Amino acid sequence: MATNALNLPENEYLLPGNRACAGCSVGIVFRHLSKALEGKAIFVVPASCFTVLCGMYPTASVTVPVMNSVFPGTAACASGIAASLKKQGREDITVVAMAGDGGTADIGIQGLSGAAERNANVFFVCYDNEAYMNTGTQRSGLTPLGARTSTTPTLGKGQFPKDMPAIVEAHDVPYIATASPGYPGDLYDKVRKARAIFGTRYMHINAPCPAGWQFAPGQTVAMAKSAVETRAFILYEIENGKFRLTGRSLALAGKDKFPGISEFLRHQGRFSKLDEALAAQLQARVEERWRQAVARHIACEQQ
Ligand SMILES: Cc1ncc(C[n+]2csc(CCOP(=O)(O)OP(=O)(O)O)c2C)c(N)n1
Ligand code: SF4
Ligand SMILES: [Mg+2]
């Protein structure tokens, strides 16, 4: 049975109160991730909003071990810890490298690539808030086209984001998934699955950020859901090369009418200058990526 708010286990590894902004989605992500791992995990974290959320002993807000690593070394540190745990016969502990989009797709990408190529026994989680938020919303390789950031202040970013799960897939790793704090049951179930798999596992999580995207803190979950409803963010998993739409995205595959991308973006201050030309460019990309995802889902089902 799929996990939902009613049958989610009560164990908690996130303590009340932390230094993240009000309404930050990263706490929702960590809460469900750590529940699924039953706290049996060591986290390796580069500088990011998640470092701030975790805090420092003795006022840390999480009850799992966290090692702060240098930016480019996240996956390498995690690989070393995994090797050490193997030596000690403690492979029941999951090593989670958890980084933001900057720490994954830009500054940490070579370490991730090396770990994935070696199939190191590491679970790499990218929470994608779509900019370098911790240092004041600079654009990253995963910032969407047209989003205004402190380094793209007038016209917005001029490029589409990298397709990070596709980059990791090119390394032939055993498990890749996307997830959303708007659908924590789906996230939880995917972490449970990833936990039981040996090798490099990669999860890409859409992480709405009230401060950087400029929306009201109470709208975080609605924003995460809207990303999936408009198909700006697609929920799927790739297990040993087999692609499958999951959760709400699987349900949407049977529909032929969807809210437009501007339904999702018009509530975000970073897109306050969204015009028809930009909306059309973004919509075309959504349609193309959705078409590819549905076609791949059907093709894999028929195999
Ligand atoms: C090698 C290196 N470059 C730059 C920095 C400065 N820095 C600290 S946090 C941060 C932003 C990280 O962005 P992201 O990985 O997306 O995480 P977020 O802050 O958005 O959670 C940067 C650039 C650093 N600490 N080390
Ligand atoms: S800047 Fe965004 S991601 Fe960072 S703590 Fe604040 S809401 Fe969370
Ligand atoms: Mg970020």
Confidence class for position 6, pLDDT limits 50, 70, 90? confident
Over residues 139-164, the mean pLDDT reads 97
Q: Which residue's alpha carbon is at the smallest distance from atom 25 of ligand 1?
A: 47
Over residues 84-111, the mean pLDDT reads 98
- List, for residues 31-46, the tens digit of each pLDDT value: 999 999 999 999 999 9
Instruction: Flag whether pLDDT at 5 surpasses 90.
Output: no
Over residues 220-247, the mean pLDDT reads 98
In degrees, rounded to 5, the angle at the alpha carbon of residue 282 between the alpha carbons of residues 278 and 286 is: 165
Query: Per the domain annotation, does 96 fall within a domain?
Result: yes
Confidence class for position 179, pLDDT limits 50, 70, 90? very high
Between the CA of 144 and the centroid of ligand 3 the distance, in Å, is 12
The b/e string for 76-92 (b: 16+ C-beta within 10 A; e otherwise) is bbbbbbbeebeeeeeee
Query: Per the domain annotation, does 15 fall within a domain?
Result: no
Ligand located closest to 223 CA: 2
Q: Is 150 in the pocket of ligand 1 (CB under 6 A)?
A: no
Instruction: Flag whether pLDDT at 1 surpasses 80.
Output: no
Between the CA of 53 and the centroid of ligand 2 the distance, in Å, is 9
Q: Total domain count for the chain?
A: 1
In degrees, rounded to 5, the angle at the alpha carbon of residue 257 between the alpha carbons of residues 180 and 163 is: 40
- List, for residues 58-78, the tens digit of each pLDDT value: 999 999 999 999 999 999 999
Q: How many CA atoms lie within 13 A of 192 on its CB side?
A: 14
Q: Which residue's alpha carbon is at the smallest distance from atom 5 of ligand 2?
A: 20
The pTM is what? Answer: 0.98
Between the CA of 120 and the centroid of ligand 3 the distance, in Å, is 24
Return the pLDDT at 283. 98
Structural domain for 169, as ranges: 25-301
Query: Per the domain annotation, does 16 fall within a domain?
Result: no
CATH at 263 = 3.40.50.970
Query: Per the domain annotation, does 17 fall within a domain?
Result: no
Query: Per the domain annotation, does 271 fall within a domain?
Result: yes
Query: Per the domain annotation, does 19 fall within a domain?
Result: no
- The one-character DSSP state at 138 is B
Query: Per the domain annotation, does 7 fall within a domain?
Result: no
Mutation choice for ligand 1 from 104, 124, 134, CB with most ligand atoms inside 8 A: 134
What phi and psi, each to the nearest 5 degrees, are found at residue 132? -80, 90
**Distance separating alpha carbons of residues 167 and 162, to the nearest angstrom:** 8
Q: Which two tokens mark 284?
A: 């075309």
Return the pLDDT at 2. 86
Query: Per the domain annotation, does 14 fall within a domain?
Result: no
Mutation choice for ligand 1 from 18, 19, 48, 130, CB with most ligand atoms inside 8 A: 48
Mean pLDDT over the full length of the chain:
97
